[in-house]
C-alpha cells in the first residue's frame, strides 16, 4: 500500500475496518465459488462487479468475468433471440472497469480487462480516446493510461504524425511531462526510420533541439527536458563506426623473434614481438562495438593467405566488440633478410555493423611489414628467471635523446592514416557547436547541475568529432575546461561523485593519449637492477592519477608493461584490448572481487600480475557478479571442473570466482597480499591452477 499514514487506528476505526474486511472476504469466497462451479447468473455476475469495484486487484475475479462474457456471447448465438446485444454485454464490462479504475487508477487487472473488451472489436475507440484525455488531464504521468493510448491508437491505426501533435500539445501544456517527452522520442524514432523528406534526421533534430530549448530555459532544474536533450545528442552522434587503430601499427616494421623477453637496445619495444608459438597477434580497433569482422569482410594479404579466425575482444562473449583479434604466423623463412609486407583491407561491402545498426560503409586499409630476427640464445634463460620488483629506482626517465626521437617516430605511426578518415556529416558538428553556445549561455545565468553535465558531454562530443577528422569550426574547446566542469560537479553533487569521477577519468585519459608529447611523459624505461644483464622494458605509467576506469585504449594497443597502481579502479573493462600486455600492476586500487578481473582472461601473454592492496574479499556484496561469465549467467558450460582442483575440506562455493579467473591465466608472477583473501589453502589452490607460477607474493613457490 502506498501513501497510507502510519497511525494507530481508533477502536471505532478498527471496528469499521474489520467489518469492511469481512464483507470483502465474503464477496471473495462467493466469487471463487461461482468461478469454480461455472455459475454465470445475473446475480453472480453482479456480485463479481461489487468485488472488483472495491478490490480491483482480485485478478481471479476479472478472469471469472471474462468467462462470463464468453458464456453470455455463446448463449446469445445459440438462442437466436435478440436477448442482449453484444454491445450491452461489453458496455457493462467497460462500466465495471471504469468504476474499478476510480478505486485504483493503476490496477493492471482493470486496464487489461478493458483491452480485452476492446480487442473484441465492438466498442468505440473514439470514446476510449475521449476517456483517455479525461484521465490524462487528471494525471499526465499515469503510464497505464499512456500504454492504453498506444494500444488504442494502434487499434484505430492513428498515424504517428497525429500522436506527435498530441505530445506537442501535452508538452506546451506542461514542460515537465517526462511521459510526453518519452512518447515523442518513440514516435520520432519510428518516423525517422520510415524515412521521407519531412522526417529527415537533420531537419527533425534541428527542430527538436529548438523545441526542447524552450523547456530547458524555462525551468533548467526539471529533468524531463534534459533527458530528452541527451537523447537528441545521442541521435546526433549516431554515426557509422570508424576504424581507429591497429597493432601492428600502419606503416611500421615489426621485428619478430622466437625466444626471450623484450629486447630494448637496437629497436623499440613497441615494434618487437617474441613468441615461442611462432605467431603474432593482429588487432583492429573501431570507434564503437561492431560485429561481422571475419575473413570475408577483412582481407589480409600475407604469405599463403590462410583463412583467418577473428575473435571479438569484449570482456563477455558477445558478438560485438570494439577490438577484434586474429593471429598471423611468423614468416616461414628464418632468419629472413627482407621484411615481408602485410596488407589488411577492411572492406566496405555489407558485413561490419555497429551495435546500433549502422554499417561500416567505408573501406580502408593498413600495411606493415614483418621480419624475423635471429634467436638470442644466451639471453633467453636469464630473461625467464628474474622477478619484476616494480621498484621506483628501477624506472628511469627517457634516457637517451636518440631513444626519444625513435619513440616519437614510432608513435606517429599510431595515428589514424589520413586516407582512413570517415565521412561524417557536417551538420552534426554544426549542431554540437550551436548547442555548446546555448548551454554556455544558460549556465551563465543559472548554476544548473544537469546543464553542466550536458555541457561536458557536448564538449567531449566536439573533441571526438575532431579526432575523427571533421574540421574544427573554431569553437573553443579545451580538455582543461571539461575536466574543470567535472570537478565542479563533484563539489555540487557529492552524492554522485563516482559517476563524475568516471567522466573525469575518461577525459583525462583522452587528453593524455591525444598527442605524442603528453603520452611520452608517461613512458619510462624499466631496468631490473638485480638483473642488470636483462634487457630493459618500456613501461607506460598511469599511476596515481585517480583513474576510476580504463579508456582510450586505441592509443595503447602496443603496451607490454603497464603501471596502473595507486588509482581508484573498481573496474578494468577495456584492458582486454591490450593484447600485448605481459606485466601489469594494479596494486592499491578499489578492485572488490575476482569477477572484476575477468578482462584479464583475454590477455594470452600476461605473465606478471600485481593485484596487491585492493579490496578483494572485503565486501559481502559482489556488484560485478553478473558482468562475468559463470554458471549464474548461464555462460559456462562443460569447463566447470571445479572438483578436481579442490582439497576435501576447502569451501568450494567461496572460490568459484577465483577458479573461473585463474584457470585461464598463465601467470609466472603474482602479488595479491593486502586483500581479504589468501590463506595458505587458497595459495595452494592457486598453485594447482597455474602450473607456470614461480613467484607468489615475493617468494619463490616451486
* 555, 559, 561, 567 alpha-carbon torsion, rounded to 10°: 20
Indicate whether 19 belongs to the interface with other proteins (CB under 8 A). no
Beta carbon nearer to other proteins, 261 or 457 = 457
Least distance to other proteins, CB of residue 352, Å:
18
Q: Which residues contact 65 (CB under 8 A, 6 or more apart)?
A: 45, 48, 49, 52, 93, 96, 113
Binder to other proteins among 5, 80, 471, 648 (CB under 8 A)? 5
Beta carbon nearer to other proteins, 21 or 518 = 21
Least distance to other proteins, CB of residue 401, Å:
42
Residues numbered 580-619 forming contacts with other proteins, rule: CB under 8 A: 619
Beta carbon nearer to other proteins, 291 or 607 = 291
Q: Which residues contact 408 (CB under 8 A, 6 or more apart)?
A: 516, 520
Binder to other proteins among 77, 157, 529, 621 (CB under 8 A)? 621
Binder to other proteins among 10, 37, 620, 641 (CB under 8 A)? 620
Cα separation, 439 vs 450, in Å, equals: 10
Cα separation, 363 vs 242, in Å, equals: 10
Q: Taken in order 310, 312, 313, 316, is the CA torsion positive or negative?
A: negative
Q: For the chain, give the longest Cα–Cα distance.
A: 106
Stretch that binds other proteins, among 314-322, 512-520, 554-562, 609-617 (CB under 8 A): 314-322
Beta carbon nearer to other proteins, 397 or 635 = 635
Least distance to other proteins, CB of residue 58, Å:
5
Indicate whether 626 belongs to the interface with other proteins (CB under 8 A). yes
Indicate whether 143 belongs to the interface with other proteins (CB under 8 A). yes
Cα separation, 695 vs 702, in Å, equals: 8
Indicate whether 104 belongs to the interface with other proteins (CB under 8 A). no
Least distance to other proteins, CB of residue 150, Å:
6
| Of residues 624, 693, 646, the one with CA closest to residue 665 | 693
Q: Which positions from 199 to 228 touch other proteins by CB under 8 A, shown as an x/- string?
A: -----------------------xxx--xx
| Of residues 181, 58, 38, 190, the one with CA closest to residue 113 | 58
Stretch that binds other proteins, among 2-10, 88-96, 249-257, 345-353 (CB under 8 A): 2-10
Beta carbon nearer to other proteins, 319 or 698 = 319
Indicate whether 141 belongs to the interface with other proteins (CB under 8 A). yes
How many CA atoms lie less than 13 Å away from 83 in the CB half-sphere?
11
Beta carbon nearer to other proteins, 82 or 641 = 641
Burial degree of 360 (CB within 10 A; 0-12, 13-18, 19+): buried
Indicate whether 10 belongs to the interface with other proteins (CB under 8 A). no
Q: How would DSSP label each residue in 453-512?
A: HHHHHHHHHHHHHHHTTPPP-S----HHHHHHHHHHHHHH-GGGHHHHHHHHHHHHHHHH
Beta carbon nearer to other proteins, 228 or 558 = 228
DSSP state of 343: E
The residue ranges of DSSP E strands in 497-569, in sequence order, are 523-526, 537-541, 561-563
Least distance to other proteins, CB of residue 81, Å:
30
Q: Taken in order 552, 515, 557, 423, is the CA torsion positive or negative?
A: positive
Stretch that binds other proteins, among 193-201, 250-258, 317-325, 606-614 (CB under 8 A): 317-325
Compute CA distances 9 → 18, 21, 23, whole Å.
Answer: 11, 15, 19
Binder to other proteins among 103, 150, 387, 438 (CB under 8 A)? 150
Give the H or E element holding residue 328: strand 321-329
Stretch that binds other proteins, among 29-37, 198-206, 559-567, 674-682 (CB under 8 A): 29-37
Stretch that binds other proteins, among 204-212, 435-443, 495-503, 558-566 (CB under 8 A): 495-503
Beta carbon nearer to other proteins, 161 or 419 = 161
Indicate whether 491 belongs to the interface with other proteins (CB under 8 A). no
**Cell 476510449 belongs to residue:** 128
Specify whether the CB–CB gap between 556 and 540 falls below 8 A: yes
Residues numbered 164-193 forming contacts with other proteins, rule: CB under 8 A: 176, 178-179, 182-183, 185-186
Q: Which residues contact 702 (CB under 8 A, 6 or more apart)?
A: 687, 693, 694
Residues numbered 645-664 forming contacts with other proteins, rule: CB under 8 A: 652-653, 656
Q: Which positions from 57 to 76 touch other proteins by CB under 8 A, shown as an x/- string?
A: xxxx-xx--x----------
Which residues contact other proteins (rule: CB under 8 A)?
Answer: 1-7, 25, 28, 32, 35-36, 57-60, 62-63, 66, 108, 112, 115-116, 141, 143, 146-147, 150, 176, 178-179, 182-183, 185-186, 222-224, 227-228, 230-231, 234, 314, 316-318, 320, 495-496, 499, 502, 619-621, 625-627, 629, 631-635, 642-643, 652-653, 656
Amino acid at each position: 500500500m502506498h501513501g497510507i499514514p502510519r497511525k494507530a487506528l481508533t477502536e471505532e476505526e478498527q471496528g469499521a475496518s474489520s467489518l469492511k474486511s469481512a464483507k470483502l472476504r465474503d464477496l471473495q469466497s462467493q466469487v471463487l465459488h461461482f468461478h469454480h462451479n461455472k455459475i454465470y447468473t445475473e446475480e453472480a455476475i453482479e456480485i463479481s462487479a461489487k468485488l472488483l469495484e472495491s478490490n480491483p486487484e482480485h485478478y481471479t475475479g476479472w478472469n471469472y468475468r471474462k468467462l462470463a462474457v464468453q458464456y453470455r456471447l455463446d448463449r446469445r448465438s445459440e438462442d437466436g433471440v435478440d436477448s442482449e446485444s453484444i454491445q450491452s454485454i461489453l458496455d457493462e464490462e467497460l462500466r465495471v472497469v471504469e468504476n474499478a479504475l476510480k478505486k485504483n487508477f493503476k490496477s493492471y487487472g482493470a486496464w487489461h480487462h478493458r483491452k480485452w473488451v476492446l480487442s473484441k472489436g465492438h466498442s468505440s475507440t473514439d470514446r476510449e480516446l475521449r476517456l483517455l484525455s479525461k484521465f490524462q488531464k487528471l494525471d499526465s504521468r499515469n503510464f497505464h493510461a499512456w500504454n492504453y493510448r498506444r494500444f488504442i491508437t494502434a487499434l484505430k491505426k492513428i498515424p504517428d504524425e497525429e500522436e506527435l501533435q498530441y505530445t506537442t500539445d501535452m508538452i506546451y501544456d506542461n514542460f515537465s511531462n517526462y511521459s510526453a517527452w518519452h512518447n515523442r522520442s518513440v514516435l520520432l524514432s519510428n518516423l525517422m526510420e520510415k524515412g521521407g523528406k519531412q522526417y529527415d534526421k537533420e531537419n527533425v533534430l534541428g527542430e527538436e533541439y529548438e523545441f526542447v530549448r524552450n523547456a530547458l530555459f524555462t525551468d533548467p532544474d526539471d529533468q524531463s527536458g534534459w533527458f530528452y536533450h541527451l537523447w537528441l545528442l545521442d541521435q546526433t552522434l549516431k554515426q557509422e563506426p570508424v576504424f581507429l587503430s591497429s597493432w601492428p601499427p600502419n606503416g611500421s616494421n615489426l621485428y619478430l623473434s622466437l625466444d626471450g623477453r623484450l629486447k630494448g637496445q637496437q629497436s623499440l619495444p613497441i615494434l618487437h614481438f617474441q613468441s615461442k608459438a611462432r605467431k603474432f597477434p593482429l588487432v583492429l580497433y573501431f570507434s564503437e562495438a561492431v560485429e561481422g569482422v571475419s575473413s570475408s569482410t577483412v582481407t589480409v594479404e600475407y604469405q599463403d593467405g590462410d583463412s583467418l579466425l577473428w575473435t571479438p575482444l569484449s570482456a563477455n562473449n558477445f558478438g560485438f566488440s570494439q577490438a577484434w583479434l586474429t593471429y598471423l604466423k611468423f614468416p616461414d623463412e628464418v632468419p629472413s633478410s627482407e621484411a615481408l609486407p602485410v596488407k589488411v583491407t577492411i572492406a566496405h561491402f555489407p558485413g561490419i555493423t555497429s551495435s546500433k545498426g549502422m554499417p561500416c560503409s567505408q573501406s580502408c586499409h593498413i600495411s606493415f611489414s614483418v621480419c624475423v630476427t635471429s634467436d638470442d640464445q644466451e639471453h633467453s634463460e636469464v630473461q625467464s628467471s628474474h622477478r619484476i620488483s616494480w621498484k621506483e629506482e628501477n624506472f628511469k626517465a627517457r634516457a637517451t635523446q636518440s631513444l626519444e626521437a625513435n619513440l616519437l617516430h614510432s608513435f606517429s605511426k599510431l595515428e589514424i592514416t589520413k586516407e582512413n578518415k570517415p565521412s561524417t556529416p557536417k551538420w552534426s558538428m554544426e549542431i554540437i557547436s550551436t548547442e555548446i553556445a546555448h548551454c554556455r549561455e544558460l549556465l551563465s545565468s543559472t548554476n544548473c547541475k544537469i546543464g553542466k553535465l550536458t555541457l561536458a558531454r557536448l564538449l567531449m562530443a566536439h573533441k571526438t568529432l575532431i579526432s575523427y577528422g571533421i574540421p574544427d569550426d573554431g569553437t573553443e574547446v579545451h580538455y582543461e575546461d571539461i575536466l574543470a566542469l567535472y570537478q565542479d560537479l563533484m563539489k555540487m553533487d557529492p552524492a554522485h561523485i563516482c559517476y563524475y569521477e568516471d567522466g573525469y577519468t575518461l577525459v583525462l585519459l583522452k587528453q593524455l593519449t591525444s598527442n605524442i608529447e603528453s603520452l611520452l611523459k608517461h613512458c619510462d624505461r624499466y631496468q631490473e637492477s638485480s638483473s642488470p644483464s636483462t634487457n630493459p622494458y618500456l613501461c607506460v605509467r598511469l599511476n596515481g592519477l585517480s583513474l576510476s576506469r580504463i579508456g582510450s585504449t586505441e592509443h595503447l594497443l602496443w603496451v607490454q608493461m603497464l603501471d596502473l597502481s595507486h588509482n581508484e579502479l573498481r573496474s578494468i573493462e577495456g584492458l582486454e584490448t591490450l593484447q600485448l600486455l605481459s606485466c601489469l600492476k594494479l596494486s592499491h586500487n578499489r578492485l572488490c572481487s575476482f569477477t572484476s578481473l575477468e578482462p584479464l582472461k583475454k590477455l594470452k601473454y600476461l605473465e606478471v600480475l600485481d593485484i596487491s592492496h585492493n579490496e578483494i574479499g572485503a565486501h559481502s556484496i559482489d556488484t560485478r557478479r553478473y558482468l562475468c561469465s559463470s554458471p549464474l549467467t548461464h555462460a559456462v558450460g562443460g569447463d566447470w571442473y571445479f572438483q578436481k582442483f579442490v582439497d576435501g575440506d576447502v569451501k568450494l562455493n567461496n572460490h568459484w570466482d577465483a577458479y573461473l579467473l585463474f584457470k585461464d591465466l598463465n601467470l609466472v608472477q603474482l602479488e595479491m597480499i593486502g586483500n581479504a583473501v589468501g590463506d595458505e589453502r587458497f595459495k595452494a589452490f592457486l598453485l594447482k591452477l597455474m602450473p607456470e607460477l614461480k613467484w607468489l607474493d615475493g617468494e619463490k613457490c616451486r
